[in-house]
């Protein structure tokens, strides 16, 4: 076997017809078939590299299936695990791509042409992407396929990041023919697995209840998660997993998939009549077409796949490291994220300079590091029905201007952040008066409206340039350190005057490319500004946004008990440093539920911590507690944001939730134990730790005993209900939380 030069993760057989991509624990194998098409052989736990895998490569024919041609009767594409399938030549499953030629035909035959190898994954130019800036931690295999009749060239890119068991895929379509081609479907990843003994685990929901976990066995036919909201959406997150039926957090096989994209997507799983499974991940083909003129090319977003044989915690942990190393802006990827005080749930639109500064001052005294002035500071925005697009101070309500507020906050020693919703326009705005044509609408039809607002046409370069200037001046004027980038309605009435009628179906993709362009320009021009994305909470919680904005507001639902599910679900595919989590008022504004300040903070610690609370109205004991919470989080911030996270007990299965973070050197760990219901005459509650060093000796804060790591992990700890020291406890209240702080004893 030949191998790639430096990292040696890509093995190519001597006859150059078999490719074996290896990560630390997984193997991905495919080969060139006799008819020059590609056959997928295997993806799973690592296997030895061989010259060929005769048995895996074998295939059969069946009655009532169709042979490729009369001279290739042994090849029935429906009987083969394909690598990147077409439609119309005997594979009747959903295809990975579809191209229409100038005659109107959709039949294509991609034949193998050759391969190239390189090291050091480069960033994509117009799309967010994974990267390997050091150049020595990834290897790229590109397979070139061609349909000679129409001159369509397709390049399949495979980037292997061996250390995190990740393979990144994407596809480039190039028109080398003389006539226009039309791309009707262009998925980023196809994976044909040879059986269907899997559970499909995905994260679906809605506003205020994002990323709830659903786990169902695969069944024959098509099942999918997708979005047609021109946004990745709170309805279905693009991240999903396929696991074996007995896979748990701690053991068993699991595959994770995600797409580095924020627009419409379609991730599907199809089980066919021979119980094989086809996975497709990519842009949604509904509302998509792309005109590929001669010599032009189209590049798909990247899809990520990762494999673990050690259960879902291990999968999430390797993904968290992968994002940190190869997806998130390196400037912030490992930086301690500041503790935020956000004005929204305290003030909504009722802002005055004095109120804002009083809140900030109070936050500063408690230890807050970043004050964020949310919605309401610009145009004449007294409610949600005006001013979007007018990104200048509302001097009537903030007469000294936003720069005065920023200066005062900086003088207090805090960072300053502002809320923007750059993609939107209100009819009641100066922007609409001057540029009504910048609003997305379809000629001669009344546009649909959401939250009294409309969306700007991000396919129009003038719109992007205007916003770059407007946001730039505010950043410069205020020396801004943080931007909350919100997006509070989905697109309707899709149409743009910037595109010819034949290209209107490119609108959705071009819209999101426009958003990426603006984010790219702003993050390049102002590299020290930390971006947090938001979409009515966690409605655009995806890897495309994470490339620019390393953290996102996880949900508008700040009720800690609801948040247990939302953060638990989110944690499968995203790291804690990506999830903003704030302490808010009790009773909770959204649910009305009452919870203690301890429980509210305990849940919010497991993320990027902050407050969305009127800290000016706290009683003295509460203020003291908030101060302690902030002090505590600062002390353990590194472990919460960048440690390994373990889901031990799940709110989707249990009435108790246990979460744990462990520092990478296993010297510090914090475990959260929360009860969802009240228990009368309770028994012991036993928790078993994960991820510690068996031989290290540890203390637990408040307990007068030394523990070995293996004792904590195998025998566990009995959680003593509050008040037990004073005699028998007859009930433990609902929503009570305990934090166990574990530290290594260093002699
Ligand atoms: C959205 C966000 C909130 C807040 C409001 C402001 O709903 O999710 O956090 O910023 O907008 O209008």
The predicted-structure confidence for 660-683, as pLDDT tens digits, reads as follows 999 999 999 999 999 999 888 888
Query: 487 in ligand 1 pocket by Cβ < 6 Å?
Result: no
- Answer whether 715's CB lies under 8 Å from 683's CB: no
Q: From the CA of 395, how far away is ligand 1's center (Å)?
A: 22
Mutate to test the pocket of ligand 1, among 344, 551, 554, 581 (most ligand atoms within 8 A of CB): 344
Query: 483 in ligand 1 pocket by Cβ < 6 Å?
Result: no
Query: 536 in ligand 1 pocket by Cβ < 6 Å?
Result: yes
Query: 537 in ligand 1 pocket by Cβ < 6 Å?
Result: yes
132, 556, 557, 559: the active-site residue: 556
* Closest CA relative to residue 340, chosen from 635, 617, 627, 608: 608
- Answer whether 313's CB lies under 8 Å from 647's CB: yes
Quote the pLDDT of residue 166.
98
Separation between Cα atoms, residue 631 and residue 368, nearest integer Å: 10
Quote the pLDDT of residue 277.
98
Query: 376 in ligand 1 pocket by Cβ < 6 Å?
Result: no
Query: 132 in ligand 1 pocket by Cβ < 6 Å?
Result: no
pLDDT above 80 for 5: no
**What's the Cα-to-Cα distance from 292 to each of 138, 153, 299, rounded to whole Å?**
30, 11, 11
Q: pLDDT per residue over 625-664, tens digit each?
A: 999 999 999 999 999 999 999 999 999 999 999 999 999 9
Quote the pLDDT of residue 134.
95
- Answer whether 552's CB lies under 8 Å from 538's CB: yes
* Average of per-residue pLDDT across 221-249: 98
* Average of per-residue pLDDT across 70-86: 97
Tokens of 581: 């989590």
Percentage of the chain surpassing pLDDT 70? 99
* Closest CA relative to residue 603, chosen from 633, 642, 560: 560
Query: 387 in ligand 1 pocket by Cβ < 6 Å?
Result: no
Q: Where does the pLDDT of residue 6 fall: very low under 50, low under 70, confident under 90, or very high at 90 and above? A: low
**What is the side-by-side strand order in the sheet with 656-662?**
644-649, 656-662, 668-675, 737-744, 697-700, 706-708
Task: Share the mean pLDDT of the chain.
Answer: 97
Query: 533 in ligand 1 pocket by Cβ < 6 Å?
Result: no
Q: Which positions ≥6 away from 540 have C-beta within 8 Å?
A: 231, 232, 233, 262, 487, 533, 534, 552
Q: From the CA of 473, how far away is ligand 1's center (Å)?
A: 23
pLDDT above 70 for 243: yes
* Average of per-residue pLDDT across 678-703: 93
Q: Which of 292-306, 391-405, 716-730 has the lowest mean pLDDT?
A: 716-730
Residue 649: how many other CB atoms lie within 10 Å: 18
pLDDT above 70 for 393: yes
Mutate to test the pocket of ligand 1, among 343, 452, 534, 539 (most ligand atoms within 8 A of CB): 534
Q: Where does the pLDDT of residue 721 fall: very low under 50, low under 70, confident under 90, or very high at 90 and above? A: confident
Quote the pLDDT of residue 683.
82
Query: 553 in ligand 1 pocket by Cβ < 6 Å?
Result: yes
* Tokens 């505590």 sit on residue: 632
Query: 486 in ligand 1 pocket by Cβ < 6 Å?
Result: yes
Query: 375 in ligand 1 pocket by Cβ < 6 Å?
Result: yes
User: Which protein residue has the closest C-alpha to ligand 1 atom 11?
Assistant: 536
- Answer whether 412's CB lies under 8 Å from 405's CB: no
SS3 160: strand
Q: From the CA of 374, how far away is ligand 1's center (Å)?
A: 8
* Closest CA relative to residue 97, chosen from 283, 227, 329: 283
Atom from ligand 1 closest to the CA of residue 612: 9
Atom from ligand 1 closest to the CA of residue 419: 10
User: Which protein residue has the closest C-alpha to ligand 1 atom 6?
Assistant: 375
Q: How far is CA 277 from the centre of its chain?
A: 24
Q: Which positions ≥6 away from 198 have C-beta within 8 Å?
A: 217, 218, 242, 243, 244, 245, 277
* Average of per-residue pLDDT across 594-598: 97
DSSP 501: G
Query: 91 in ligand 1 pocket by Cβ < 6 Å?
Result: no
Provide the whole-model pTM. Answer: 0.98
Q: Is residue 486 among the annotated active site residues? A: yes
Q: From the CA of 536, how far away is ligand 1's center (Å)?
A: 5
Separation between Cα atoms, residue 195 and residue 311, nearest integer Å: 19
* Tokens 């370069």 sit on residue: 461
Residue 607: how many other CB atoms lie within 10 Å: 24
Atom from ligand 1 closest to the CA of residue 539: 8
192, 196, 486, 658: the active-site residue: 486
Tokens of 411: 């003088």
Q: From the CA of 422, how far away is ligand 1's center (Å)?
A: 13
**Residue 287 — left, alpha, or beta (φ > 0 → left; ψ -120 to 50 → alpha)?**
left
Q: Is residue 133 among the annotated active site residues? A: no
Quote the pLDDT of residue 3.
62
Separation between Cα atoms, residue 712 and residue 26, nearest integer Å: 31
Whats the size of the chain, residue-wise? 747
CA angle, 24 as apex, 23 and 26 as ends, to 5°?
55
DSSP 315: H
Separation between Cα atoms, residue 181 and residue 295, nearest integer Å: 11
Query: 311 in ligand 1 pocket by Cβ < 6 Å?
Result: no
Query: 210 in ligand 1 pocket by Cβ < 6 Å?
Result: no
Bridge partners (DSSP) of residue 669 are: 662, 742
pLDDT above 80 for 729: no
Tokens of 7: 């990292």
SS3 362: helix
Q: Can you state the angle between helices 461-478 and 507-525, rounded to 10 degrees?
A: 30
SS3 272: coil
pLDDT above 90 for 439: yes
- 716 exposure class (CB count in 10 Å sphere: 0-12, 13-18, 19+): middle
Q: Which of 235-244, 375-384, 680-689 has the lowest mean pLDDT?
A: 680-689
Separation between Cα atoms, residue 309 and residue 136, nearest integer Å: 26
Q: pLDDT per residue over 483-533, tens digit each?
A: 999 999 999 999 999 999 999 999 999 999 999 999 999 999 999 999 999
Q: From the CA of 509, how far away is ligand 1's center (Å)?
A: 25
* Closest CA relative to residue 123, chosen from 153, 165, 164, 168: 168
Atom from ligand 1 closest to the CA of residue 536: 8
Give the containing element (helix H, strand E) for 739. Answer: strand 737-744
* Average of per-residue pLDDT across 613-635: 98
Bridge partners (DSSP) of residue 155 are: 144, 172
* Closest CA relative to residue 316, chosen from 653, 743, 643, 658: 643
Q: From the CA of 420, how far away is ligand 1's center (Å)?
A: 10
User: Which protein residue has the closest C-alpha to ligand 1 atom 3?
Assistant: 536
* Tokens 């293996």 sit on residue: 710
Mutate to test the pocket of ligand 1, among 418, 486, 538, 610 (most ligand atoms within 8 A of CB): 486
pLDDT above 90 for 593: yes
User: Which protein residue has the closest C-alpha to ligand 1 atom 2?
Assistant: 536
pLDDT above 70 for 310: yes
* Average of per-residue pLDDT across 184-200: 98
């Amino acid at each position: 076997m030949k191998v790639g030069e430096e990292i040696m993760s890509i093995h190519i057989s001597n006859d150059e017809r078999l490719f074996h991509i290896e990560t630390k624990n997984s193997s991905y194998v495919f080969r060139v078939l006799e008819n020059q098409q590609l056959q997928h052989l295997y993806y799973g736990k690592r296997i030895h590299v061989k010259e060929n895998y005769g048995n895996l490569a074998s295939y059969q024919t069946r009655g009532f299936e169709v042979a490729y041609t009369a001279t290739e009767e042994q090849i029935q594409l429906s009987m083969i695990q394909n690598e990147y399938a077409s439609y119309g030549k005997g594979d009747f499953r959903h295809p990975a791509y579809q191209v229409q030629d100038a005659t109107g035909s959709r039949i294509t035959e991609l034949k193998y042409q050759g391969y190239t190898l390189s090291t050091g994954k480069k960033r994509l130019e117009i799309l967010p992407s994974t990267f390997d800036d050091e150049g020595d931690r990834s290897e790229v295999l590109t397979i070139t396929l061609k349909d000679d009749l129409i001159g369509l060239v397709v390049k399949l890119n495979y980037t292997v990041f061996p250390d995190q068991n990740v393979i990144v895929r994407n596809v480039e379509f190039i028109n080398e023919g003389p006539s226009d081609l039309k791309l009707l479907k262009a998925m980023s990843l196809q994976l044909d697995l040879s059986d269907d003994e899997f559970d499909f685990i995905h994260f679906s929901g809605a506003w205020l209840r994002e990323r709830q976990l659903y786990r169902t066995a695969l069944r024959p036919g098509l099942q999918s998660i997708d979005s047609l909201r021109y946004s990745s959406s709170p309805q279905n997150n693009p991240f999903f997993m396929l696991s074996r039926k007995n896979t748990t957090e701690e053991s068993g096989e699991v595959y994770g998939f995600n797409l580095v994209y924020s627009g419409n997507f379609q991730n599907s799983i199809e089980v066919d009549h021979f119980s094989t499974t086809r996975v497709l991940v990519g842009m949604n083909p509904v509302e998509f077409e792309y005109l590929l003129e001669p010599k032009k090319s189209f590049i798909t977003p990247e899809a990520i796949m990762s494999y673990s044989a050690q259960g879902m915690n291990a999968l999430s942990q390797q993904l968290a490291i992968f994002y940190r190393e190869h997806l998130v802006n390196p400037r912030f990827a490992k930086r301690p994220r500041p503790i935020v005080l956000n004005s929204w749930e305290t003030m909504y639109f009722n802002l005055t300079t004095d109120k804002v500064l009083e809140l900030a001052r109070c936050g500063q005294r408690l230890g807050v590091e970043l004050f964020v002035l949310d919605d309401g500071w610009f145009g004449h925005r007294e409610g949600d029905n005006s001013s979007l697009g007018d990104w200048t101070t509302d001097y009537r309500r903030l007469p000294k201007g936003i720069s005065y507020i920023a200066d005062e906050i900086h003088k207090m020693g805090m960072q300053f952040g502002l809320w923007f919703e750059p993609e939107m326009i209100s009819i009641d705005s100066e922007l609409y008066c001057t540029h009504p044509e910048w609003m997305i609408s379809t000629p001669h039809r009344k546009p649909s409206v959401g939250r009294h607002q409309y969306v700007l046409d991000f396919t129009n370069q003038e719109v992007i340039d205007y916003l770059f200037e407007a946001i730039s001046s505010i950043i410069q004027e205020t020396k801004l350190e943080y931007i909350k980038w919100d997006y509070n309605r989905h697109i309707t009435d899709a149409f743009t005057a910037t595109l010819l009628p034949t290209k209107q179906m490119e609108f959705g993709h071009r819209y999101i490319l426009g958003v990426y362009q603006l984010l790219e320009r702003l993050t390049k021009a102002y590299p020290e500004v930390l971006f947090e994305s938001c979409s009515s909470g966690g409605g655009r919680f995806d890897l495309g946004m994470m490339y620019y904005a390393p953290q996102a507001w996880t949900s508008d639902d700040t009720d800690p008990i609801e948040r247990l599910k939302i953060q638990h679900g989110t944690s499968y595919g995203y790291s804690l440093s990506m999830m903003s989590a704030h302490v808010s008022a009790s009773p909770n504004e959204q649910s009305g539920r009452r919870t203690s300040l301890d429980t509210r903070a305990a849940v919010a610690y497991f993320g990027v911590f902050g407050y969305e609370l009127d800290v000016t109205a706290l009683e003295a004991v509460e203020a003291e507690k908030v101060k302690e919470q902030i002090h505590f989080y600062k002390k353990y911030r590194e472990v919460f944001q960048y440690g390994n996270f373990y889901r031990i007990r799940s709110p989707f299965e249990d009435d108790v939730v246990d979460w744990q973070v462990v520092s990478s050197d296993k010297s510090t760990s914090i475990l959260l134990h929360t009860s969802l219901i009240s228990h009368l005459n309770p028994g012991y509650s036993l928790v078993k730790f994960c991820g510690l060093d068996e031989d290290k000796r540890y203390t637990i804060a408040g307990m007068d005993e030394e523990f070995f790591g293996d004792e904590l992990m195998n025998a566990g700890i009995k959680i003593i209900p509050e008040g037990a020291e004073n005699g028998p406890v007859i009930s433990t209240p609902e929503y009570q939380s305990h934090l166990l702080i574990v530290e290594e004893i260093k002699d």
